[in-house]
Structure 1
Amino acid sequence: MSGTAPGVDHDRIRRNLAAFPRRSAVAERSAAVAVCVLPSKTGPQVLMIKRAPRGRNAGQWALPGGRVEPGETLVETALRELAEETGVEAPASAVAGLLDDYVAGTGFVITPVVVLLDAPPARLERCRREVASLHRIPLARLCEDDLPRWRDMPDGGRLLQMPLRANMVVHAPTGALLWQFREVALLGRHTRVGDLDEPEFARV
């Protein structure tokens, strides 16, 4: 493995995020997502969703999140969307820090908010209107050597792929956010992902 995530040291993640010179971006449309780490008997996991087969980003793998509403902060948006989409209620004190803003092909600026839970959530309950299914991905998987995988593009660029498990390959923007979370929060590396290509289906 290129790194490990044993038990996950919350203080270390917070230190890594605090030491990271985060980049922000400005846009008319802003969104925030929660990179939510859950404890479990088999090791810490990050919570992901599969979008409902209709509406924006239909059927895509994603992190819980959505558009920033008027008067909300980025952290408030991430925590609200986490609760609405997955049933996980997290206090503001669970927020460990933010990663780089990612300017998506849709025009949204996406801000990843890292949320660390000290105990398993009281419930996981998807919003059936927006979420087809909930998924827990072991943090140890994010740190394995075969991630990320790259595919050459006709224009000379490289498409990032995160094959997290069978029948689950995650591309940018979500794949890029997960890779930066692994690199920065878990491994303490200052890795940028803003220039990564997105597949065409993620830009609509």
Structure 2
Amino acid sequence: MQLDAPLRQRVQDRLQTFALQTTPCAGHRAAVALTLLEEGWGADLAGLAKPTAWSSAAAVLLTRRALTLRNHPGQWSLPGGRIEPGESAAEAALRELHEEVGLRLDGSAVLGLLDDFVTRSGFVITPVVVWAGPARATLVADPAEVASIHRVRVQEFMREDAPLLEPIADSPHPVLRMPMGDGWVAAPTAALLYQFREVCIAGRTTRVAHFEQPLFARK
């Protein structure tokens, strides 16, 4: 799947016709940037082949959280954070994208939103789908927040074994994980990736807010 103008238009059209579900919240709100860009040299992950030349395949930008962070150290995540007073979700996602990985984009890069996801730790997360285009500039991780940056090919999230659903004792709903290489990504990030796959790439209306997070991701 190439990162090209038809893909951008297709994703934007699907988000514009998607019946968005939002969650009212007077407390903690956050936004994440679900960023489409070129695979480049690819993700250095077990089970994923790294291209030997620059690849223009469509990819999603993921990070590993710094091990020094108090909440969710070392976990897979999308660039993002709290929505500040006076900010929209899109503005917050773009600000965090620049702060965490050095990628500066303006409002024209925003293609649309996916459903809010309420975490067990008390945040309402709004996923903002962003088009970064070639993004050939070197991405620079903020060491206070990001341990590593990865461009993971969109096709990796279209695997037939995704999503992985696992029963959990304290909920009627299963934990959702997304396989990636020889490993996997946990919800809430996995839930957002799965809805992105279904709505933006496959063109299927799919809800994910009911899926559970594993115990380690709830802190």
Question: Which of 147, 153, 161 matches 2:177?
Answer: 161
1:174 paired to 2:189: yes
Letter in 1 for 2:24: V
Letter in 2 for 1:48: L
Contact preservation (8 Å) 1:6, 1:140:
no
Letter in 1 for 2:13: R
Letter in 2 for 1:141: E
In 1, distance between residues paired with 2:29 and 2:111?
A: 20
In 1, distance between residues paired with 2:124 and 2:31?
A: 8
In 2, distance between residues paired with 1:118 and 1:126?
A: 19
In 2, distance between residues paired with 1:7 and 1:116?
A: 10
**CA offset digits 1:86-110 (Å, max 9, x no partner):** 1111111010000000011111000
Q: How has the CA–CA distance of structure 1 residues 121 and 42 changed in structure 2, closer, same or farther, with 3 Å as cutoff? A: closer
Equivalences for 1:71-150 in 2 at 5 Å? 71-150=86-165
**CA offset digits 1:102-153 (Å, max 9, x no partner):** 0111110000000012222422000001111111110011112111112222
In 1, distance between residues paired with 2:105 and 2:129?
A: 11
In 2, distance between residues paired with 1:38 and 1:88?
A: 11
Greater alpha carbon shift after TM alignment, 135-144 vs 113-122 = 113-122
Unaligned runs of 5+ in 2: 40-54
Question: Which of 10, 17, 39 matches 2:8?
Answer: 10
Q: How has the CA–CA distance of structure 1 residues 121 and 73 changed in structure 2, closer, same or farther, with 3 Å as cutoff? A: farther
In 2, distance between residues paired with 1:78 and 1:154?
A: 34
Q: How has the CA–CA distance of structure 1 residues 107 and 53 changed in structure 2, closer, same or farther, with 3 Å as cutoff? A: same
Aligned to 2:192, the other structure's residue is in SS state helix
Letter in 2 for 1:50: R
Shift of 1:6: 4.4
Instruction: Tell me the residue number matched to 2:60.
Output: 46
1:24 paired to 2:22: yes
Letter in 1 for 2:33: A
Contact preservation (8 Å) 2:101, 2:149:
yes
TM-score where L is the length of structure 1: 0.93
Shift of 1:72: 1.1
Contact preservation (8 Å) 1:148, 1:162:
yes
**CA offset digits 1:64-95 (Å, max 9, x no partner):** 00001111111110000001101111111010
Letter in 2 for 1:37: L
Instruction: Tell me the residue number matched to 2:33.
Output: 34
Q: How has the CA–CA distance of structure 1 residues 6 and 119 changed in structure 2, closer, same or farther, with 3 Å as cutoff? A: closer
- Percent identical across equivalent pairs? 43
Shift of 1:42: 4.6
Contact preservation (8 Å) 1:147, 1:163:
yes
Letter in 2 for 1:160: L
Aligned to 1:17, the other structure's residue is in SS state helix
